[in-house]
């Protein structure tokens, strides 16, 4: 990992710092959720993203704020990297009326159109056909937006994946299929569920551009993301990116993780993308003080977000009748 | 309306889509075989539209219902008003996830940040020999999903008016067409004629019994009411037009007046929409009722192929008149 980082030197310093800032924003958010769950201050079903921070940060740094994102229940890294204000996200995760969705969606259903987060789905694979629709809207209106849909390696075994790739390729939609291959679908290892040797092997069947990269390497990941974004924006069609990563914790917070071989965990810890990224920055001459300042700013935002979430009100019970249909349901 | 101009049900659908696309550039339609290169739809409901509006806004899709419905949902939350054609109602089972988990719920789950102004057209109905997988009436499934509207027209003019309203509506609406009715002729409506969603129509006033129905059985009930009048029984016929949310006010006012109600639908009787309507009547009007509410639906079986079985499966006029006469004592 460190070696690969040393070799790559083709993105500018400002972009690299931005990817790092987003990575740390994800890392610290995820860490804080787990701390508060551990201490009993929060109670919710939480899908950890430890180990997948740099992947998301690199992808989202290649997008504009108004580009569209569709993600899944394990999506807090994607949402935070895309730029959702942490106070809105935290309030939604805690079911408060000040949340992105007034507390009515919750962690698995984050929507924030202001930052392009259009759909978060709890149904594996369901985001891909919807991403096509968002991209279709951009293709028809000519608004120049690109849509990114994130999903795991497990989602490539469900029918919606195949229907969506076929349609996107057929219609040359400005959409990027970002497969975050974290090597496990829930508790089942990749090889036990997936017949293809690698996910990119599925793209030629749909005549689709595809690339497999180390998603934990910010430079490799950003370059793949940027290439796909540029292609989509130029009207050259979709790309499937298989970004290799690793889910360092269980499927949900506190879930059994004993099915993962010890050696794999050891290897993952040795290749943890966050310390590696820090080393990369230091190697490239970024000062400790600059890194500390970035982290301090995130800590401050996070402290304020948690405080805001905990002190906010729950939605009023009239919300049961609101947003079911456009017109309020009669009491 | 002019009494001389007639249009078919299929032409009514076509006119509604044409008017909607002409009025709003955000209306787009997608589905299998719908463009003119593929014949303009298997029932010709979309004929001419791709030539007029282009294959960008009138898109023939692969036979891939999840892809169709997902694309429609995505385009809808990005500001379009898609009309997705799912050729047969049974094919909705292939894309239930997109409809039930996404289209119907995104407004609520996003706290109103996104919404899905989507119209889904489909056809169905027993009687033409398609057998078990192309004929089901599944409207109760969708009526049971919060966030969805369900519509069914009984004549060409109202089909056009209801479809225009569905396309303009900001919530997902399932528009059910009947395969036996595409060639049915009816009066042509004036341009711009619309039927509001959620409003039933009292087709015939009567004082003895309220018959509540929708879709294909409406015409049969009109004819039945005429015959019953000859026997001295005055039947009020109500066409719901919108199945969900149904027009409780019109139904309850009618039954409060007549004291008797029969609900007629082609869907099988068990757990059908008739059960919900009957329950609402009993809950609100129990002491006004002169007899228990009756439901007439098709038999509890998959739709059979063999013609005698298919006819025996379907609800019948005789069952309705027998029920009415029993209620009248």
Considering only the beta carbons, identify the residue of A166, A323, A325 that sits closest to B64. A166
Considering only the beta carbons, identify the residue of A111, A167, A324 that sits closest to B146. A324
Q: Taking the CB of residue A275, how many other CB atoms lie within 10 A of it?
A: 13
Report how far residue B110's alpha carbon sits from residue A130's, in angstroms, rounded to the nearest whole number: 15
Report how far residue B8's alpha carbon sits from residue B19's, in angstroms, rounded to the nearest whole number: 16
CA closest to A70 among chain B residues: B74
- How large is the C-alpha radius of gyration of chain B? 20
- Inter-chain residue contact A118 with B149, CB threshold 8 Å: no
Report how far residue B152's alpha carbon sits from residue A215's, in angstroms, rounded to the nearest whole number: 50
Question: CA distances (Å), A258 to each of A188, A250, A262, in order?
Answer: 12, 9, 8
Q: For residue B240, what pLDDT is reported?
A: 98
> Does the pLDDT of residue B234 top 50, yes or no?
yes
Task: With cut-offs at 50, 70 and 90, classify the pLDDT of residue B169.
Answer: very high
Nearest to A34 by CA among A316, A321, A323, A306: A306
- Inter-chain residue contact A324 with B67, CB threshold 8 Å: no
- Give me A316's structure tokens: 């009023």
- Inter-chain residue contact B114 with A105, CB threshold 8 Å: no
DSSP B186-205: EEPPPTT----TT--EEEE-
| pLDDT < 70 positions in chain A | 1-9
Q: For residue B4, what pLDDT is reported?
A: 62
- Please name the residue that has the structure tokens 């036996």: B180
Helix (H, G, I), strand (E, B) or coil at B263: strand
Report how far residue B204's alpha carbon sits from residue B221's, in angstroms, rounded to the nearest whole number: 10
> Does the pLDDT of residue B50 top 50, yes or no?
yes
Under 8 Å CB pairs connecting chains A and B tally to: 149
Report how far residue A12's alpha carbon sits from residue A26's, in angstroms, rounded to the nearest whole number: 22
- Give me B29's structure tokens: 């339609």
Report how far residue A178's alpha carbon sits from residue A128's, in angstroms, rounded to the nearest whole number: 10
> Does the pLDDT of residue B1 top 50, yes or no?
no
Considering only the beta carbons, identify the residue of B67, B77, B169 that sits closest to A118. B77
Question: Testing the interface with A: which of B65, B113, B242 to mutate, by most A Cβ within 10 A?
Answer: B113
- Give the residue ranges of DSSP H helices in chain A: 2-7, 13-38, 53-61, 76-82, 86-93, 127-141, 159-171, 190-193, 218-233, 262-270, 273-283, 288-311
Q: For residue A169, what pLDDT is reported?
A: 98
CA B43 to chain centre: 17
Bridge partners of B186, per DSSP, are B7
CA closest to A147 among chain B residues: B74
Helix (H, G, I), strand (E, B) or coil at B244: strand
Distance of residue A187 Cα from the nearest chain B Cα, in angstroms: 23
- Inter-chain residue contact A133 with B71, CB threshold 8 Å: yes
Report how far residue B34's alpha carbon sits from residue B46's, in angstroms, rounded to the nearest whole number: 6
Q: What is the pLDDT of residues A57-89, one digit of tens each?
A: 999 999 999 999 999 999 999 999 999 999 999
Q: What is the pLDDT of residues B126-152, one digit of tens each?
A: 999 999 999 999 999 999 999 999 999
Q: Taking the CB of residue A228, how many other CB atoms lie within 10 A of it?
A: 28
User: Whole-angstrom distance between the N-terminal and C-terminal Cα of chain B?
Assistant: 41
What is the pLDDT of chain B when averaged over all its residues?
A: 97
- Inter-chain residue contact B70 with A133, CB threshold 8 Å: yes
> Does the pLDDT of residue B219 top 70, yes or no?
yes
Contacts of B78 in chain A (CB under 8 A): 68, 118, 133-134, 137-138
- Inter-chain residue contact B77 with A133, CB threshold 8 Å: yes
Distance of residue A139 Cα from the nearest chain B Cα, in angstroms: 9
Contacts of A323 in chain B (CB under 8 A): 107-108, 110-112
- Inter-chain residue contact B101 with A112, CB threshold 8 Å: no
Could you say which DSSP state residue A316 is in?
A: P
Q: What is the mean pLDDT of residues B177-186?
A: 96
Report how far residue A318's alpha carbon sits from residue B27's, in angstroms, rounded to the nearest whole number: 33
Residues of chain B that touch chain A, judged by Cβ-Cβ distance less than 8 Å: 28, 56-57, 59, 61-62, 64, 66-67, 69-80, 82, 97-98, 101-102, 106-115, 146-147, 149, 169-171, 245
Nearest to A54 by CA among A210, A214, A176, A198: A214
B59 backbone dihedrals φ, ψ, rounded to 5°? -105, 120
Provide the phi-psi class of B134: left if phi over 0, else alpha when psi is between -120 and 50, else beta: alpha
Distance of residue A96 Cα from the nearest chain B Cα, in angstroms: 11
Sign of CA dihedral B207, B208, B212, B217: negative
- Inter-chain residue contact A160 with B111, CB threshold 8 Å: no
Question: Testing the interface with A: which of B30, B71, B148 to mutate, by most A Cβ within 10 A?
Answer: B71
- Inter-chain residue contact A111 with B72, CB threshold 8 Å: no
- Inter-chain residue contact B101 with A121, CB threshold 8 Å: yes
Distance of residue B58 Cα from the nearest chain A Cα, in angstroms: 11
Q: Which pTM was predicted?
A: 0.96
- Sorted by sequence, the CB contacts under 8 Å of residue A5 that are 6+ apart come out as A217, A218, A219, A276, A277, A279, A280, A283
- Count CA within 13 A, CB hemisphere, residue A98: 16
Provide the phi-psi class of B283: left if phi over 0, else alpha when psi is between -120 and 50, else beta: alpha
Considering only the beta carbons, identify the residue of B56, B114, B171 that sits closest to A118. B114
Q: What is the mean pLDDT of residues B301-329?
A: 97
Question: Testing the interface with B: which of A89, A163, A314 to mutate, by most B Cβ within 10 A?
Answer: A163
Considering only the beta carbons, identify the residue of A119, A129, A141 that sits closest to B71. A129
Residue A100 contacts residue A308 (beta carbons within 8 Å)? no
Q: For residue A155, what pLDDT is reported?
A: 97
Q: For residue A5, what pLDDT is reported?
A: 46
Report how far residue A251's alpha carbon sits from residue A245's, in angstroms, rounded to the nearest whole number: 15
- Sorted by sequence, the CB contacts under 8 Å of residue A114 that are 6+ apart come out as none
By annotation, the residues of B acting in catalysis are 65, 134
Nearest to B271 by CA among B137, B90, B95, B149: B137
Considering only the beta carbons, identify the residue of A123, A139, A163 that sits closest to B67. A163
Residue A175's H or E segment, with its range, is: strand A175-181
Report how far residue B243's alpha carbon sits from residue B239's, in angstroms, rounded to the nearest whole number: 10
CA closest to B101 among chain A residues: A123
* Angle, in degrees to the nearest 10, between helices A127-141 and B65-77: 60
Q: Taking the CB of residue B226, how many other CB atoms lie within 10 A of it?
A: 12
Q: For residue A1, what pLDDT is reported?
A: 40
- Inter-chain residue contact B71 with A140, CB threshold 8 Å: no
Report how far residue B90's alpha carbon sits from residue B134's, in angstroms, rounded to the nearest whole number: 6
Considering only the beta carbons, identify the residue of A119, A128, A323 that sits closest to B107. A323
- Give me B200's structure tokens: 């039933």
Distance of residue A140 Cα from the nearest chain B Cα, in angstroms: 7
Q: For residue A64, what pLDDT is reported?
A: 98
- Inter-chain residue contact B69 with A129, CB threshold 8 Å: yes
Report how far residue A164's alpha carbon sits from residue A127's, in angstroms, rounded to the nearest whole number: 9
- Inter-chain residue contact A167 with B57, CB threshold 8 Å: no
Could you say which DSSP state residue A329 is in?
A: P
Contacts of A324 in chain B (CB under 8 A): 107-108, 146-147
- Give the residue ranges of DSSP H helices in chain B: 9-23, 49-53, 65-77, 96, 106-109, 139-143, 156-168, 217-230, 248-258, 273-285, 307-313, 317-328
- How large is the C-alpha radius of gyration of chain A? 19
CA closest to B107 among chain A residues: A323
Nearest to B214 by CA among B244, B254, B242, B174: B242
């Amino acid at each position: 990992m460190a070696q690969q980082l040393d070799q790559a030197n083709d993105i500018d310093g400002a972009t690299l710092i931005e990817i790092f800032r987003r990575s740390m924003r994800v890392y610290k958010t995820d860490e804080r959720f787990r701390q508060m769950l551990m201490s009993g201050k929060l109670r919710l079903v939480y899908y950890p993203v430890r180990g997948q921070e740099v992947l998301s940060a690199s992808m989202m740094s290649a997008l504009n704020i108004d580009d569209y994102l569709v993600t899944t229940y394990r999506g807090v890294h994607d949402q935070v990297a895309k730029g959702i204000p942490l106070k809105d996200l935290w309030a939604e995760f805690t079911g408060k009326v000040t949340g992105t969705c007034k507390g009515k969606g919750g962690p698995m259903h984050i929507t924030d159109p202001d930052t392009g987060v259009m759909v978060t789905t709890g149904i594996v694979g369901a985001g891909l056909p919807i991403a096509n629709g968002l991209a279709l809207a951009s293709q028809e209106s000519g608004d120049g937006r690109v849509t990114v849909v994130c999903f795991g390696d497990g989602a490539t075994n469900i029918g919606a994946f195949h229907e969506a790739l076929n349609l996107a390729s057929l219609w040359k939609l400005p959409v990027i299929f970002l497969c975050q291959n974290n090597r496990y679908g829930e508790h089942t290892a990749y090889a036990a569920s997936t017949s293809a040797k690698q996910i990119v092997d599925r793209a030629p069947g749909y005549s689709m551009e595809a690339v497999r990269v180390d998603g934990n390497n910010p430079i490799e990941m950003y370059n793949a993301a940027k290439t796909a974004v540029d292609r989509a924006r130029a009207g050259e069609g979709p790309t499937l990116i298989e970004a290799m990563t690793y889910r360092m914790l269980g499927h949900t917070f506190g879930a059994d993780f004993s099915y993962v071989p010890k050696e794999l965990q050891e290897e993952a810890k040795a290749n943890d993308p966050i310390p590696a990224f820090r080393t990369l920055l230091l190697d490239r001459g970024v000062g400790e003080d600059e890194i500390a300042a970035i982290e301090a700013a995130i800590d401050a935002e996070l402290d304020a977000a948690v405080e805001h979430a905990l002190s906010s009100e729950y939605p009023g019970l009239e919300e049961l009748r609101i947003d079911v249909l456009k017109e309020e349901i009669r009491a | 309306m002019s009494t001389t101009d007639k249009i078919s049900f299929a032409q009514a659908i076509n006119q509604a889509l044409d008017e909607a696309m002409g009025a709003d550039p955000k209306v787009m339609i997608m589905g299998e075989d719908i463009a003119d290169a593929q014949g303009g739809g298997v029932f010709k409901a979309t004929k001419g539209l791709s030539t007029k509006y282009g294959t960008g806004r009138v898109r023939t899709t692969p036979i891939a219902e999840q892809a169709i419905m997902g694309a429609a949902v995505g385009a809808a939350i990005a500001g379009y008003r898609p009309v997705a054609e799912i050729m047969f109602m049974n094919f909705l089972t292939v894309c239930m996830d997109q409809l039930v988990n996404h289209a119907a719920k995104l407004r609520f789950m996003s706290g109103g940040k996104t919404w899905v102004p989507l119209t889904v057209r489909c056809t169905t109905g027993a009687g033409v020999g398609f057998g078990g997988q192309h004929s089901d009436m599944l409207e109760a499934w969708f009526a049971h999903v919060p966030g969805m509207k369900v519509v069914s027209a009984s004549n060409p003019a109202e089909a056009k008016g209801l479809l225009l309203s569905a396309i303009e509506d900001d919530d997902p609406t399932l528009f059910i067409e009947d395969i036996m009715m595409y060639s049915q002729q009816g009066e042509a409506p004036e341009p711009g004629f619309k039927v509001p969603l959620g409003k039933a129509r009292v087709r015939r006033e009567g004082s003895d019994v309220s018959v509540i129905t929708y879709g294909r059985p409406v015409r049969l009930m009109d004819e039945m009411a005429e015959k019953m009048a000859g026997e001295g029984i005055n039947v009020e016929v109500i066409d719901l037009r919108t199945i969900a949310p149904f027009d409780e006010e019109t139904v309850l006012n009618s039954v409060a007046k007549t004291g008797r109600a029969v609900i007629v639908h082609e869907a099988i009787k068990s757990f059908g929409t008739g059960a919900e309507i009957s329950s609402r009547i009993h809950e609100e009007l129990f002491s006004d009722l002169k007899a228990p509410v009756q439901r007439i639906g098709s038999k509890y079986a998959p739709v059979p192929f063999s013609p005698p079985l298919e006819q025996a499966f379907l609800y019948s006029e005789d069952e309705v008149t027998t029920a009415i006469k029993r209620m009248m004592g």
